[in-house]
A and B are shown apart, each in its own frame.
Chain A
Amino acid sequence: MAFYEQHIHEAPKTFLKKYVFSFDHKVIGKQFLWYGIFFLGIGGIMALMIRWALAFPGVAFPVFGNFLFPETGGVIPPDTYSMLFTLHGTIMIFYAITPILIGCFGNFCIPLMIGARDMAFPSANMLSFWIAVLSGAVLLASLFTPLGGAAGGWTSYPTLSTLIGSPGVGQTLWTLAIFILGVSSTMGAINYITTVITLRAPGMGYFDMPLTVWGLWLTAILNAIFLPVLGAGCLLLIFDRVFGTHFFLAGAAATSGNGDPILFQHVFWIFGHPEVYILILPAWGIVSDLLSFFSRKPAFGAKATALSMTSITILSTLVYGHHMFTTSMSPLLTQSFMTLTMTISIPSTVFFFNWLGTIWRGSIRFDSPMLFSLGVVFVFGLGGLTGLYLGTVTTDLYLHDTYFVVGHFHYTMAASVLLGGFAGIYFWMPKMFGVMMNEAIAKVHFWITMLGLNGVFMGMLFVGYGGMHRRLYNPFWYDFLQKLIPINTFITWSAILMGFGQFFFLYNFIHALLKGKKAEDNPWNVGTLEWTIPSPAPNYNFKDIPVVKCGPHELGNPALPEGRDFQYQTEELVKA
């Protein structure tokens, strides 16, 4: 129901206009992809350094340890360790997952899947990317300040993140970087929301949109509402640090003023809980679509899936207090947050049921995007279920701030999102770059990643249950954690395996870009709008705006003529 027509302009000729300052949503999507992959690499190396310190305390980090830490003979020092886990979290969440899942897939898929020629606001889109680059530069610059980068955890709770706990300018730059990134993402979010509302192809109702677009759209709504809240919190923190205000300062060490550090936690988690859904919703959407495409049958209960994703989106705004159960909130608040948190399990059950219903009695093709999607169902099952322990107040009193939490949120935010992201890359590679990736290498990549990540995150659940708390430079300082050394070593080896597995992806990806097999227009035989146009997608996508006549998951219809098992969204639904 496009509200207005998007004109086709001539394709840009110069390199600068074509690849750098491009208005084209497809190019901006790819830019976000490079950006995300770059930071994914950095965040991944940081993760390995953290794991190294935990499994082999006091042992020099191999390969470049001596170069980075000459004073300690290659051993990661404790203050650097704090920086590593702080920046690992920050980078993975804001600079790797967000650009890949939201920046890349959001930009690339939304217009193509709803039959638009570009985003509603192409120049805001470009600006959003370049602001993200600025933010990344500020973040990286913070590492080279005299006292080093931020080291207060990605949550950066005051008063640790105020001058009391982190006097260095690195923390200020970190906060500034997050604020700038918030501006970039909010801009992107508003663009996505507007695009989905105003630029759907004629005939496409909201329930005719692929579930990928649903996921991205809901994510954008959450982003637009809650990133400004985080931005406000960051600004107040910057004021406290730079201008001497006392929003978050209290206690004997704060010589004047009586602010409240817990205020920041409220602000942070009002944003922070929706943030986990911001990251996972696009992956849910992608998986919901891919399961249907590769089972060759319509998505089971697609409407219910969309609606349960919507209700989770709404619920996610009401439960953030479960991150603060140990702060002695009032019992009434504690109980309310627990009850609300538990209700999330009901819509979750609905779409899990629908996912399994989709592959039930399908005719499943195990191409790499499908493998990764099934992987998401598996790991998100574990991630979601382990959340029960943490949404329950009493068990949380024991498990809060232990590795159990770390294992849980890595299953939901890291494992599921990573696998969902890979599924998307393998699936849309032909439309993005016009080439196919190698299936055999992709499958090796899948199994190594799956093995590695389950070793890591399952191991974390176990050591957390054993009582090991988070963010310890050397956990073996405590007697009761001595017995967990071998499990920590096992986790580290699993992490190394997982890191190693990513080279298969890198090789496959680069090889495909350089001399991959040329892709057909519709290699997966699915009917959504992006597959009705040539691969790679041409300038302004659609020469004629398509008219949508059926849903996105019309596969396996027995009424279809011999030799076809799917139909395009532009075709009238074939009835028996």
Chain B
Amino acid sequence: MLFFDSAKAATTDLDPVQQMSFWDRIQPPVDISANGHKIMDLFNYTTFMVIFFFILVCIGIFGFSYFYSHKRNKKPYYTYGNKKSHKNVGLAFGMAVFILIDCAITIQSNNDLVNTFFNFPKGEEVVRIQVMAQQWLWNIRYPGADNVFNTDDDVVTINDLRLPIDKKVVVQMTSKDVIHSFYLPNVRQKRDAMPGRLSRIWFELKKTGEFDIACAEMCGTHHYIMKGKMIVYTQDEYDSWVKQANQVALSANDTEDPDLYWGWKWEE
């Protein structure tokens, strides 16, 4: 049949992909960030809670359906559920949900937020990047040798983000036209890039290699091809790339072109 063939055609040249188990397939892409595990840990905790409480619900649905079907139980128990014991059991479930789910998750997430994800690193050690999203690509800007944005020596690339390992990276972003969302699946984070506003995201990378940057917010017909590459270098590799890129930028940047200066002053 036609549709089977095409689905196969897409996978045959990726043999390891075809052999994967279901469990491997649904795993998120490899986590390359220093803090992504915090998100996954909370995800896993939530999953345990969800499974636990959903099993309770299922015991109720299937167990009661079995034991109290019309066939097995002719005489229903006439109650409004307003006895003291009924209320106490209800209260116990409410408390369990409140403590195990509400308190535990909210406190953990709040701590991660305050201490990590919204706690933006500052100072000269931080790698600074500016991103201008547009339909349907990512404009990326490095401050160049002077470490000041929107100057003649800035390194400007399209869909090509190169970063060093083990350094804190802050990306400030905005959009030229519609709302996009800067999504790094391997870092477990995304942030919207919005016209007229600056937003920012920070992360620290722990693995070298080549990874995808995706646009997660619907941004028009070609939203699905708005893909960038993030290459993570060792510090040495990165230093030599930066040096070379700075030189290329100095000679290749057309300083007459106003379109070059879409960056902004960096503010922490």
Using CB atoms and an 8 Å cutoff, list the residues of chain A in contact with chain B. 55-60, 78-79, 82, 151-153, 157, 159-160, 164-165, 250-254, 258-262, 295-304, 326-328, 331, 334-335, 338-339, 342-343, 345-346, 349-350, 352-366, 374, 377-378, 381-382, 385-386, 388-389, 392-395, 397-398, 400-402, 462-463, 465-467, 469-480, 482-487, 489, 555-558, 565
B265 located at the interface, meaning its Cβ lies under 8 Å from any Cβ of chain A in the complex: no
B205 located at the interface, meaning its Cβ lies under 8 Å from any Cβ of chain A in the complex: no
Decide if A326 touches B192 in the complex (CB within 8 Å): yes
B27 located at the interface, meaning its Cβ lies under 8 Å from any Cβ of chain A in the complex: yes
Chain B 53-75, CB within 8 Å of chain A: the 1/0 string? 11001101100110011100111
Looking at the assembled complex, report how far the CB atom of A348 sits from the nearest CB atom of chain B, in whole angstroms.
8
Chain A residues in 8 Å Cβ range of B195 = 159, 250-254, 261
Decide if A466 touches B27 in the complex (CB within 8 Å): yes
Decide if A349 touches B97 in the complex (CB within 8 Å): yes
Decide if B60 touches A359 in the complex (CB within 8 Å): yes
B231 located at the interface, meaning its Cβ lies under 8 Å from any Cβ of chain A in the complex: no
Decide if B54 touches A382 in the complex (CB within 8 Å): yes
Looking at the assembled complex, report how far the CB atom of B191 sits from the nearest CB atom of chain A, in whole angstroms.
6
B124 located at the interface, meaning its Cβ lies under 8 Å from any Cβ of chain A in the complex: no
Given A159-B178, A339-B106, A395-B42, does the pair A362, B68 have CB atoms closer than 8 Å?
yes
Chain A residues in 8 Å Cβ range of B174 = 251
Decide if A400 touches B190 in the complex (CB within 8 Å): yes
Given A364-B65, A469-B183, does the pair A395, B39 have CB atoms closer than 8 Å?
yes
Closest 10 CB pairs of A and B: A251-B195, A250-B196, A300-B81, A356-B60, A361-B77, A556-B76, A328-B199, A253-B177, A297-B76, A301-B81
Decide if A160 touches B6 in the complex (CB within 8 Å): no
Decide if B109 touches A392 in the complex (CB within 8 Å): yes
Chain B residues in 8 Å Cβ range of A354 = 81, 90
Decide if A160 touches B179 in the complex (CB within 8 Å): yes
Decide if A251 touches B86 in the complex (CB within 8 Å): no
Looking at the assembled complex, report how far the CB atom of B158 sits from the nearest CB atom of chain A, in whole angstroms.
16
Decide if A555 touches B118 in the complex (CB within 8 Å): no
What are 13 inter-chain pairs, A to B, with CB distance below 8 A? A253-B178, A298-B81, A299-B80, A303-B82, A304-B81, A326-B181, A349-B93, A363-B73, A394-B42, A395-B43, A401-B216, A480-B211, A556-B76
Chain A residues in 8 Å Cβ range of B81 = 298-302, 304, 354, 357-358
Chain A residues in 8 Å Cβ range of B188 = 397-398
Listed stretches B141-149, B160-168, B218-226, B244-252; interface member? B218-226
Given A356-B64, A467-B185, does the pair A555, B76 have CB atoms closer than 8 Å?
yes
Chain B residues in 8 Å Cβ range of A250 = 194-197
Decide if A364 touches B68 in the complex (CB within 8 Å): yes
Residue from B177, B223, B262 within 8 A of A472 (CB atoms): B223
Bound state CA distance, A375 and B199, in angstroms?
Answer: 43
Chain A residues in 8 Å Cβ range of B43 = 389, 395, 398
B53's nearest neighbour on chain A, judged by CB, is A385
A486's nearest neighbour on chain B, judged by CB, is B25
Chain B residues in 8 Å Cβ range of A557 = 78
Given A354-B81, A360-B68, A394-B38, does the pair A262, B90 have CB atoms closer than 8 Å?
no
Looking at the assembled complex, report how far the CB atom of B253 sits from the nearest CB atom of chain A, in whole angstroms.
19
Looking at the assembled complex, report how far the CB atom of A402 sits from the nearest CB atom of chain B, in whole angstroms.
7
Looking at the assembled complex, report how far the CB atom of B18 sits from the nearest CB atom of chain A, in whole angstroms.
9
B129 located at the interface, meaning its Cβ lies under 8 Å from any Cβ of chain A in the complex: no
Chain B 30-50, CB within 8 Å of chain A: the 1/0 string? 000000101110110010011
Chain B residues in 8 Å Cβ range of A304 = 81, 90
Of residues 194 through 229 on chain B, the ones whose CB sits less than 8 Å from some CB of chain A are 194-197, 199-200, 211-212, 214, 216-225, 227
Bound state CA distance, A394 and B166, in angstroms?
Answer: 22
Residue from B7, B189, B191 within 8 A of A56 (CB atoms): B7
Looking at the assembled complex, report how far the CB atom of B234 sits from the nearest CB atom of chain A, in whole angstroms.
22
Chain B residues in 8 Å Cβ range of A165 = 135, 177-178, 219-220
**Interface band, chain B:** 35 or more
Decide if A79 touches B221 in the complex (CB within 8 Å): yes
B113 located at the interface, meaning its Cβ lies under 8 Å from any Cβ of chain A in the complex: yes
A355's nearest neighbour on chain B, judged by CB, is B60
Bound state CA distance, A478 and B26, in angstroms?
Answer: 15
Bound state CA distance, A400 and B216, in angstroms?
Answer: 8
B242 located at the interface, meaning its Cβ lies under 8 Å from any Cβ of chain A in the complex: no
Bound state CA distance, A304 and B80, in angstroms?
Answer: 11
B260 located at the interface, meaning its Cβ lies under 8 Å from any Cβ of chain A in the complex: no
Decide if B6 touches A58 in the complex (CB within 8 Å): yes
Decide if B183 touches A338 in the complex (CB within 8 Å): no
A259's nearest neighbour on chain B, judged by CB, is B196
B175 located at the interface, meaning its Cβ lies under 8 Å from any Cβ of chain A in the complex: yes
Bound state CA distance, A153 and B220, in angstroms?
Answer: 9
Chain B residues in 8 Å Cβ range of A483 = 17, 20, 24-25
Decide if B76 touches A482 in the complex (CB within 8 Å): no
Given A327-B199, A470-B216, A487-B26, does the pair A252, B262 have CB atoms closer than 8 Å?
yes
Decide if A359 touches B42 in the complex (CB within 8 Å): no
Looking at the assembled complex, report how far the CB atom of B261 sits from the nearest CB atom of chain A, in whole angstroms.
12
Chain A residues in 8 Å Cβ range of B22 = 487
Bound state CA distance, A378 and B56, in angstroms?
Answer: 11
Decide if A482 touches B14 in the complex (CB within 8 Å): yes
Decide if B106 touches A342 in the complex (CB within 8 Å): yes
Of residues 95 through 116 on chain B, the ones whose CB sits less than 8 Å from some CB of chain A are 97-98, 101-102, 105-106, 109-110, 112-114
Bound state CA distance, A308 and B222, in angstroms?
Answer: 44
Residue from B69, B109, B176, B194 within 8 A of A394 (CB atoms): B109
Chain B residues in 8 Å Cβ range of A365 = 70
Decide if B196 touches A251 in the complex (CB within 8 Å): yes
Chain B residues in 8 Å Cβ range of A343 = 102
Bound state CA distance, A58 and B9, in angstroms?
Answer: 11
Chain B residues in 8 Å Cβ range of A377 = 57, 60-61
Decide if A401 touches B181 in the complex (CB within 8 Å): yes
A sample of 9 more A-B contacts (CB under 8 A), given A339-B110, A401-B216, A480-B29, is A151-B221, A326-B216, A343-B102, A358-B81, A364-B73, A381-B53, A392-B106, A395-B39, A485-B7
Decide if A394 touches B218 in the complex (CB within 8 Å): no
Bound state CA distance, A56 and B9, in angstroms?
Answer: 11
Looking at the assembled complex, report how far the CB atom of B139 sits from the nearest CB atom of chain A, in whole angstroms.
11
Decide if B50 touches A388 in the complex (CB within 8 Å): yes
Chain B residues in 8 Å Cβ range of A339 = 106, 110
Looking at the assembled complex, report how far the CB atom of B113 sits from the nearest CB atom of chain A, in whole angstroms.
6
Chain A residues in 8 Å Cβ range of B28 = 398, 465-467
Bound state CA distance, A220 and B112, in angstroms?
Answer: 39
Chain A residues in 8 Å Cβ range of B220 = 82, 151, 160, 165
Decide if A478 touches B65 in the complex (CB within 8 Å): no
Given A300-B86, A482-B11, does the pair A59, B178 have CB atoms closer than 8 Å?
no
Chain A residues in 8 Å Cβ range of B89 = 353
Residue from A153, A252, A338 within 8 A of B218 (CB atoms): A153
Residue from A251, A295, A301, A462 within 8 A of B26 (CB atoms): A462
Decide if B190 touches A326 in the complex (CB within 8 Å): yes
B240 located at the interface, meaning its Cβ lies under 8 Å from any Cβ of chain A in the complex: no
Decide if B79 touches A297 in the complex (CB within 8 Å): yes
A388's nearest neighbour on chain B, judged by CB, is B46
B94 located at the interface, meaning its Cβ lies under 8 Å from any Cβ of chain A in the complex: yes
Given A381-B57, A398-B188, A484-B25, does the pair A476, B177 have CB atoms closer than 8 Å?
no
B117 located at the interface, meaning its Cβ lies under 8 Å from any Cβ of chain A in the complex: yes
Decide if B214 touches A298 in the complex (CB within 8 Å): no
Looking at the assembled complex, report how far the CB atom of B211 sits from the nearest CB atom of chain A, in whole angstroms.
8
Decide if A350 touches B90 in the complex (CB within 8 Å): yes
